[in-house]
Amino acid sequence: MAEEKTARAATFDDLLRVIRALNEQGAEYLLIGDYALYALGYQRATIDILVPPTRDTAERVIQALMLLPDQVAKDIDPAWFEEGDTIRVADKFVVDVMFNSCGESFASLQPHAQTVVLADGTTVRTLDIEGLLKTKQTARGKDIGDRLALERAWAKMKRQGSDG
């Protein structure tokens, strides 16, 4: 019986390597999920990216993900991007390549796209709080907790905006 490999949690250094590679390839992406929350100041540990379902994106994302230690991205068929089902890249850590989140697509979330500069100067494309809220509309316990934190942050931002 073959030994089952288990991916480890992605580290901040893993995130930086993936984001830098995506940036170097000129790939269109939005960081969503746990590390998007991290980029906005909330501690999390998985890498989820939302991308447009195109052949050009497939080629750029696959090339960027070849930096992963076991290079499992070489097994990704670019045609899978056009099918629109989440692609789980299970290498030393997991990167989920997603085409929708809670009914929202890369295109529908563009009004909420923003660039954040991380502490080391790496730029990352992610979503503002309102956009992240749109991706957390599930009944999963983790998403409910995230949604509550994001709703509080959104309310605080709106209050601060009306005070100015």
Give the CATH number for residue 91.
3.30.460
Is the pTM value of this prediction over 0.85? no
Indicate whether 40 belongs to any domain.
yes
- Does residue 38 belong to any structural domain of this protein? yes
pLDDT attached to residue 101: 93
The pLDDT value recorded for residue 86 is 94
pLDDT band, very low/low/confident/very high, at 40 (cuts 50, 70, 90): low
The alpha carbon dihedral of 107, 23, 6, 33 has a sign of negative
Residue 4's pLDDT is 52
* pLDDT of 2: 47
Task: Report how far residue 27's alpha carbon sits from residue 78's, in angstroms, rounded to the nearest whole number.
Answer: 14
Per-residue confidence band for 79, with pLDDT thresholds at 50, 70 and 90: very high
Question: Would residue 45 count as lying in a domain?
Answer: yes
State which residues form the domain around 69.
Answer: 12-128
Confidence of residue 43 (pLDDT cuts 50, 70, 90): low
Q: What is the mean pLDDT of the chain?
A: 86
Residue 96, burial from CB neighbour count under 10 angstroms (0-12, 13-18, 19+): middle
In a domain, residue 67? The reply is yes
Q: How many domains does the chain have?
A: 1
Percent of the chain's residues with pLDDT above 70: 89
